[in-house]
Structure 1
Amino acid sequence: MTLDFLEVNFEGYTISKTESFDAKKKVDIVIFTIKNVKRIVKSNYSASWSSTLPHVMILAKKYEYKGQSFNLLSDTKDLYGWYASLIKQVENKPEELKNLVTEITAGAKSEEEKVKKIFYWVQDNIRYIAYENGIMGFKPDNANNVCKKKYGDCKGMANLTCEMLKISGFDARLTWIGTRSIPYTYSTPSLAVDNHMITTLFLNGNKYYLDATEKGVAFKDYAHRIQGQDVLIQDEESFIIAKVPEFDAKHNEEKIIVNLSIDGEKLVGKGENTYNGGRKTRLYNQIGYVAKIDLDEKVMAYIANQDKNNTISNLVISDTYNRNLPINFNYNIEISNCITAIGNEVYINLESDFDFEGILTEDEEFLDMDFKEKYYKNQTTTLKVPENAKVDYMPENVLVNNNEFSFDLKYSFDETKRIITYNKKIILTSGIISYSNFELWNKTIKKLKTFYNDQIVIIKN
């Protein structure tokens, strides 16, 4: 048998390789030895082992039997050939789905609207269940079976999406992909390269990637786990290798504006929250948008951070079920137990979310941190200061900025308008915090804790 050994993530480690031949057994012997191995300390945010730790991929290229040579996976062509052979065994029955597709796309005013109707129908009506048995771990279930059962794994859902699009006259193709936890590309011929299947749509000279397992994701938007990843696309007897587009952190912006004033022992005011990209998709799942049950109650609890001291009222949800637009909430808010008065001094804390507080790495931890999303939070909170009071103290600003994360938190006071403004902007550029940045990360999080626990001081005259 002909084997290749692909060395992955060896950089920074003391690893040696020796090769020898055992004449008696007639076998080649390859030994990898690693020295000074650290104990692996995992956390809830540890990156995947395959993307971080050193390992060897054994690639079975071909074998010889009775003087004949047989290919296994010598190159990407062989890998695709085996995948394509499984697709040929799938027995879709488009005639049984035609009426349903016609019903789903009824009223569509454009080709793109037809695509959205099909894509969103599969998202909302087919439950993702990753049940795989034997060859079904690689072979998609028939589209008709998935539609009838109302559930399927990624391959079954991709196959149903693809078949429905083709019934509507679109050029749709099954597509293999490895999610971000897998560090390999399709230059490596191995079944370990991918773990997921989606649909590629060719429309007006562009390629669009449809992953119906991602509930709430919009057409032309992509989940973080597939952004920037290699894809292997059907192309009749051949294949196409492409890459899913990748968005920057601002694509996922969560923007919050809250304007408050003091009312006795409470803070009262109005707020507006807007969610984009991945934050919007996550919100769909967190508060049960798809189920459409008790939506207002779930949204108010979400805005209040499940805190009984926060009372949300007069909630208005804009474009509730339009996946193509940001989710927007407007509301009134009343905050109790946030004001402490001692004599003529009033202490107020405008922090409500305490983002990333307490997320520290341990001394022995060396696996990169992976938050599994690019993070961008932009929050502004204002407080109207009474005419008979003066601002005596505001917390010291926090500003930390490097290639992977940025924390910018600051207070300011406009004496003319008598308004304190608290601005908070937090960005995780890639969602990954490298081991080399752990020291700075920990220092920053400790600064955050001090900042979050600090308070504004107002003196009543």
Structure 2
Amino acid sequence: MLPVFLLFALAAGAQAPSQLVVAMKKQYPGEKAVYLEMRQDLTVEIRNDSVQVLARHHADMLHLDEQSATYANDRVYSSHFNRLQKLEARTLVPNGEKFKTLRVSEFKDKFEMQAGVFFDDTRSTSFSFPAITPGARTVTDYTVRHVDARFVMPFFVGSYVPVRHAELTITAPKGVRIGYKIFHADPATIAYTKEEKGGQVIYRWTANNLPSPPRDNDAPEASYYLPHIVFFVQEATVNGQPRKLLAGVPELYTMYADFVRRIDRQPSPGLQHRVDSLVAGAQTEEEKVRRVYYWVQDNIKYIAFEQGLRGFIPHDAGLVYARRYGDCKDMANLTNEMLHLAGVKNAYLTWVGTRDLPYKYAELATPGVDNHMIATYEPTPGQYVFLDATSKHTPYGMPSAMIQGKEGLLGLDPQSSRVVDIPAVDKARSGRDDRSVLTLDGTVLRGTGKLSLAGYSKVDQSYGLDGLDRTDEPKYVKALLERGNNKFFVDHYSIANLDVRDQPLSISYDYRLQDYVQQVDDEVYVNLSLERPYATDRIDVATRKLPRYNEFAHTDHTRTELVVPAGYEVSYLPPSAQAQGEALGFKVSYERQGNKIIQDRELYVNYLLLQPAQFGDWNSVVTKLGNAYREVVILKKKRA
């Protein structure tokens, strides 16, 4: 019997180009292109003392309309662990009842420099397919050798265009035990077979007729929703002896602990002196930890490195201290080492998967589960303070926003580890508090007040304000304070606590807002909702399919006092309004105090990932919020 992939290949080749286009347009209406086939054939090999994987990749895309030319450019990645051995690419151009082959002849090889990464040994080989027209097929075949089987990448069954046939095959010696996990796919939609052939075991997964994924703004990373298979070598017989590779968290930590063991540790009297001076006079252990953490944040520049094993092994703490720069591993190791030098025993190196990754250690104990490293302090048993010095402005006691709700793998000692939960920070700890007094000057509204930013709201704006010059800072502050309309002007402002992490960032301000107040005859109309966040943020439940990502939960409070001008009285005061949803809520109240009208408003956003099942409730609150924002205060001239 012919393999499934060969049957599909023969079927595609048997159809005339025009017939194939018509058939695929009918099956996938409105799509620019379709993968006729995506295939990976992996062979696990025992080479001397190592377990390696040879991966053969094949992709065959059919272009369905003129806009598919955007897919003409492609690239293949390689690195120290994943070595490109062979690459061929070609366009199959319609030529009557057959296809004419045009081979790609120019390949450009370069280091792939990611944003924020100082040096990365990942290389990209880029190329462009010629003669892309409707009916053309672009075919890529390449082979990669993974010199360490623990670093094999997942196989994404789905893609950014529909996939007619996807197939993953793993061939391994009988002495190799393979594990796998399927994410975001009904197992019934992916056929799985396992057969023994001689001394080999062949594992095969196939899936057919996969639609293109939704394309929604503010969606999580593709690994949160695209169907994919993560496979890993659990155990292999090497030199006649069984060797566990990725059988669970203990084996994963054994690998990480080995990376830490390889740190080239050197004595550093300068580092010890620095620690001694930092913690001198500290009354508590927590104060020691806080001082060390803030010093690393302030004095070590975050520059990422990803070069072979250097992507996993930190530099020596003394070297990082002397250089004053490092990546997340270097900063975590320096923080951890400084705490130990300060006499803090319960400090641990910690591996973390940021929110870019959806996995938990219990479901996937491979290097693909995490991508970040921090230090953790345990002041009392079971209580943890997560110290991510790469997040420069994050205060002590809060994890960086990008690791909220995730897990940390604590390295307790060279042999033992512990997986702990990293909490999502409560909405009350982050947000804006804006208090202002408004006066009327004709149709001009003048305001004096103070904006305070706490938690992650402060972290965000501190990054924005940090290092701005006298030209850019006023522009940034104006954008931050802007309200009412586009005739908003900041006359004066002052900033406090930008570099004081344990205090809210505050901006005192005076502003003018022109042509905002409406005056009709003897009545003045003032809408005190000068800022209207989420007023139009309805989610189209008919079209949006993916969850919506949010960086952090927060609660914003606004208190606006309007001074009633002499000669006027209050004709209309809006009623109070509120709505309390799981992910979004608000309450607005108005009251008269002496010659002032006070609007007090609180609004919270309480989610990190808003699921489609919550969209209806979200929209209900948005509707009520929009109605509340439209309410106006009416002042009327007093009669003589």
TM-score over 0.5 (shorter chain): yes
Q: Which residue of 1 aligns with 2:237?
A: 64
**Unmatched 5+ residue regions in structure 2?**
1-175
Q: Which residue of 1 aligns with 2:514?
A: 336
- Encode CA deviations 1:241-266: one digit per residue, 9 max, x unaligned: 22224331111132222222223332
Q: Which residue of 2 aligns with 1:427?
A: 604
Matches within 5 A, 1:152-167: 152-167=326-341
> Using CA pairs below 8 Å that are at least 6 residues apart, which structure has the higher relative contact order?
1
**TM-score of the aligned structures, taking structure 2 as reference length:** 0.64
How far the C-alpha of 1:453 sits from its partner, in A, is 6.0
- Among 262, 267, 287, the residue aligned to 2:440: 262
CA contact (8 A) 1:272 1:329 kept: yes
- Encode CA deviations 1:66-109: one digit per residue, 9 max, x unaligned: 75433211111110001111111112334242223234344544
- 2:367 aligned with 1:200: no
Q: Which residue of 2 aligns with 1:4?
A: 179
User: Which deviates more from structure 2 when the two are superposed, residues 221-230 or residues 450-459?
Assistant: 450-459
Q: What's the Cα RMSD here?
A: 3.2
Q: Which residue of 1 aligns with 2:221?
A: 48
- Among 353, 369, 373, the residue aligned to 1:178: 353
- Encode CA deviations 1:351-396: one digit per residue, 9 max, x unaligned: 3333235545455331100111112112121212235334455678
Q: Distance in 1 between matches of 2:380 and 2:205?
A: 52
**Unmatched 5+ residue regions in structure 1?**
none
Q: Which residue of 2 aligns with 1:136?
A: 310
- CA change 1:360–1:203 in 2 (3 A) is same
CA contact (8 A) 2:385 2:399 kept: no
Matches within 5 A, 1:52-451: 52-65=225-238, 68-96=241-269, 97-171=271-345, 172-187=347-362, 188-203=364-379, 205=381, 206-236=383-413, 237-288=415-466, 291=467, 297=474, 300-301=477-478, 303-305=480-482, 309-313=488-492, 315=494, 317=496, 319-361=497-539, 363-392=542-571, 399-408=578-587, 410=588, 412-414=590-592, 417-442=594-619, 444-445=621-622
- 2:215 aligned with 1:37: no
Letter in 2 for 1:422: Q
CA contact (8 A) 2:180 2:230 kept: yes
How far the C-alpha of 1:123 sits from its partner, in A, is 0.6
- Encode CA deviations 1:203-226: one digit per residue, 9 max, x unaligned: 355432211011111222222322
How far the C-alpha of 1:197 sits from its partner, in A, is 0.4
- CA change 1:110–1:357 in 2 (3 A) is same
Q: Distance in 1 between matches of 2:375 and 2:610?
A: 31
SS of residue paired to 2:545: coil
- CA change 1:40–1:87 in 2 (3 A) is same
How far the C-alpha of 1:455 sits from its partner, in A, is 4.5
Q: Distance in 1 between matches of 2:618 and 2:209?
A: 28
Q: Distance in 2 between matches of 1:390 and 1:15?
A: 70
Letter in 2 for 1:460: K
CA contact (8 A) 1:59 1:189 kept: no
Larger Rg: 2
- Encode CA deviations 1:92-142: one digit per residue, 9 max, x unaligned: 334242223234344544433322222111111112122211111111122
How far the C-alpha of 1:15 sits from its partner, in A, is 3.0
User: Which deviates more from structure 2 when the two are superposed, residues 54-63 or residues 332-341?
Assistant: 332-341
Letter in 1 for 2:379: L
Letter in 2 for 1:159: N
- CA change 1:397–1:9 in 2 (3 A) is farther
- CA change 1:92–1:357 in 2 (3 A) is farther
User: Which deviates more from structure 2 when the two are superposed, residues 61-70 or residues 238-247?
Assistant: 61-70
Letter in 1 for 2:444: K
- CA change 1:447–1:204 in 2 (3 A) is closer
Q: Which residue of 1 aligns with 2:48?
A: none
Letter in 2 for 1:176: W
CA contact (8 A) 2:493 2:507 kept: no
- CA change 1:412–1:454 in 2 (3 A) is closer
**TM-score of the aligned structures, taking structure 1 as reference length:** 0.86
User: Which deviates more from structure 2 when the two are superposed, residues 155-164 or residues 278-287?
Assistant: 278-287
User: Which deviates more from structure 2 when the two are superposed, residues 253-262 or residues 73-82?
Assistant: 253-262
SS of residue paired to 1:117: helix
- CA change 1:71–1:18 in 2 (3 A) is same
CA contact (8 A) 1:8 1:54 kept: yes
- Encode CA deviations 1:130-187: one digit per residue, 9 max, x unaligned: 2211111111122233223322111111111112222222222211111223222222
Q: Between the two proteins, what is the percent identity of the paired residues? A: 26
Q: Distance in 1 between matches of 2:258 and 2:361?
A: 18
Q: Distance in 1 between matches of 2:208 and 2:586?
A: 38
CA contact (8 A) 1:268 1:335 kept: yes
CA contact (8 A) 1:170 1:202 kept: no
- CA change 1:342–1:157 in 2 (3 A) is same
Q: Distance in 2 between matches of 1:63 and 1:378?
A: 59
CA contact (8 A) 1:14 1:35 kept: no
Q: Distance in 1 between matches of 2:513 and 2:231?
A: 59
Letter in 1 for 2:388: D
CA contact (8 A) 2:574 2:632 kept: yes
SS of residue paired to 2:306: coil
